[in-house]
Structure 1
């Protein structure tokens, strides 16, 4: 395992998979970036993992990388992770569960079914994870910073 200082030898192969060349000159195909703290510190603590699950490199912060390498890692993370962030709650079908929620996310408008209040988890102060009936995780980064209607709806379920 090596610590990344400023530049990664990181690129895509002809099939679109990430390639990483380590300090010894060994090329690793199919490298996967993994966030250590995906909710609390998404741009800090990134590990590059080999196809067989071994850590190849540690990145303290994405900001320390040149734009090209940072862009490759961010693109790979976006393709791998699917956790829409709820910006506002438009309406809910009922305040009893199960209920249908209509929300605006960072990826557009959507609807989902909340099976029960236990599917809303407090992660940190003001941060919530909501699991829909299909297991998709929705993130609310700061419930206190949401609009008044969204906060009122959430308060009814918390």
Structure 2
């Protein structure tokens, strides 16, 4: 090639392009790694709180004793005792307004549902409608005008 085809000023374009390309690649790589590391830190935080509640039913007294067996304290206002008869809800009774800590108990009186035979009781977390504890009554309770 003739020498007049190459200009001395053209030689710097190639190294400058390489430097810019490497800078862009480094910034993109750093952003990707940073996003993965910081994103994992946000998502992989503490485990969600867990609560272990148990329900002990005294059908003769129309009462459920709820015991907190472990986990974070809970607001009892978020829980209900739900009575079922033949798969239908016949009563919803709020557990209370206090906080319940580990090894504490609360007793809730439930309505037997009038003429319906209550055959199952559930302790339900009301905001999410998730069942915390459930128990089927061996001898369904039927309430006729207030007499059990």
TM-score between the two structures when normalised by the length of structure 2: 0.25
Greater helix proportion: 2
TM-score between the two structures when normalised by the length of structure 1: 0.24
Higher RCO structure, 1 or 2 (CA under 8 Å, sep 6+): 2
